[in-house]
Amino acid sequence: MRILVTGPRGFVGARVMDELGRDVIPAPSLRAVDEESIRRMVDEAQPDLIIHTAAMSDIPTCENDPVGSYYANVKVPVWLARTGIKCVMFSTDQVYSGCAGEGPYAEEETAPSNLYSHHKLEMEQRTLDINPDTVHLRATWMYDMPKYGVPNRGNFLVNMLRQSDIAFSSTQHRAVTYVREVSGWIRQAALLPGGAYNYGSENNLTMLETAEWLKARLDLPVRLQDVGPRHHLWMDCSKIKKHGINFCNTVDGLQKCIADYAL
Ligand SMILES: NC(=O)c1ccc[n+]([C@@H]2O[C@H](COP(=O)([O-])OP(=O)(O)OC[C@H]3O[C@@H](n4cnc5c(N)ncnc54)[C@H](OP(=O)(O)O)[C@@H]3O)[C@@H](O)[C@H]2O)c1
């Protein structure tokens, strides 16, 4: 099976590349493409599957560049879907950022509250209209240790290891997920029927409790503070579990990462 991966040097894309080994074809950068060049890229690569990880994924960057966000997060995915090749695309738990209830949120309860999540939800809807076989994986905030040769980005684990003071909410329910689990389930995710799926760890702790757990587990010198109430982002992952995709819960995922890196 030939699998084209977009964003192959990104945080998720680089781990997906590791996971897929020799089946993988790294896509060139999609920062300055049009529909015609996407078609040419796909004609040349002849993939059976596209795993789309490239995106403008930083919320403030999207707010400051709405045109760029729409291009990266809606237009490019629409052009990929129009090639007719089955696509697995990364979406986000931010689509729940304006939900009225406390959560955990199931797939149909979306209420985006920032531009990034509005664009991601539009991406989901438009690409599913074009190709109902498209799979959207709504990811949580993901973490890993830095990877050699790949740009590093701040994440829960690295921030906890590096920073001296961090604030999290003592009321916010939200999961963080070990990105190696995200890449580890990717072949199975490609077999899912078209639709949107909550794809990551669950968490029965608040973010501050999660951070306190990690601080105690690794005996970290970091000082933790409470930022006050934040909107919940926790996802109900029962839909993917029915398809045999079972992530560790947040604490077990952190334990796995700690063991993998002998931290
Ligand atoms: N990281 C997280 O915790 C997180 C959480 C929830 C959802 N997600 C979603 O998961 C996917 C992967 O996230 P990630 O953290 O791996 O992303 P990332 O590392 O920030 O970016 C992935 C790749 O996207 C490409 N890219 C960046 N800006 C672009 C733009 N303006 N136009 C087109 N391409 C652009 C870059 O590739 P080139 O340099 O080759 O152009 C980059 O390597 C995204 O869809 C993201 O929204 C991520």
Q: Where are the domains of the chain?
A: 3-149+176-200+235-247
Other Cβ atoms less than 10 A from the Cβ of 43: the count is: 9
Per the DSSP assignment, residues forming a β-bridge with 37 are: none
pLDDT digits (tens, 9 = 90+) for 173-218: 999 999 999 999 999 999 999 999 999 999 999 999 999 999 999 9
Write the Ramachandran bin of 217: left for phi over 0, alpha for psi from -120 to 50, otherwise beta. Answer: alpha
pLDDT digits (tens, 9 = 90+) for 43-75: 999 999 999 999 999 999 999 999 999 999 999
Instruction: Note the CATH number of domain 3-149+176-200+235-247.
Output: 3.40.50.720
Decide: pTM greater than 0.85. yes
Maximal CA-CA distance, the chain: 53
pLDDT digits (tens, 9 = 90+) for 130-144: 999 999 999 999 999
Residue 22 clears pLDDT 90, i.e. is over it: no
Residues listed for the chain: 263
Per the DSSP assignment, residues forming a β-bridge with 89 are: 52, 136
Name the residue of 16, 53, 59 to mutate for ligand 1: max ligand atoms within 8 A of Cβ: 53
Rounded to an integer, the average pLDDT of 138-163 is 94
Give residue 228's Cα distance to chain centre.
25
User: Token digits for 116?
Assistant: 């990034």
The residue whose C-alpha atom lies closest to atom 35 belonging to ligand 1 is 55
User: Token digits for 89?
Assistant: 């695309």
The pLDDT score that the predictor gives to residue 147 is: 94
Report the candidate in 252, 174, 175, 164 with the shortest Cα–Cα distance to residue 215: 164
The residue whose C-alpha atom lies closest to atom 37 belonging to ligand 1 is 7
Angle made by CA atoms 173, 177, 183, in degrees to the nearest 5:
150
Residue 198 contacts residue 235 (beta carbons within 8 Å): yes
Per the DSSP assignment, residues forming a β-bridge with 139 are: 92
Angle made by CA atoms 160, 166, 171, in degrees to the nearest 5:
105
The residue whose C-alpha atom lies closest to atom 11 belonging to ligand 1 is 53
State the pLDDT confidence band at 151, using cuts at 50, 70 and 90: confident
User: Half-sphere exposure of 25 toward its Cβ, with a 13 Å CA cutoff?
Assistant: 16
**Which DSSP letter does residue 257 get?**
H
pLDDT digits (tens, 9 = 90+) for 80-128: 999 999 999 999 999 999 999 999 999 999 999 999 999 999 999 999 9
Residues 6+ apart with CB under 8 A from 96: 103, 105, 109, 110, 111, 232, 233, 235
Return the ligand 1 atom nearest residue 94 CA.
Answer: 6
State the pLDDT confidence band at 152, using cuts at 50, 70 and 90: confident
The pLDDT score that the predictor gives to residue 158 is: 97
Report the candidate in 177, 195, 193 with the shortest Cα–Cα distance to residue 246: 177
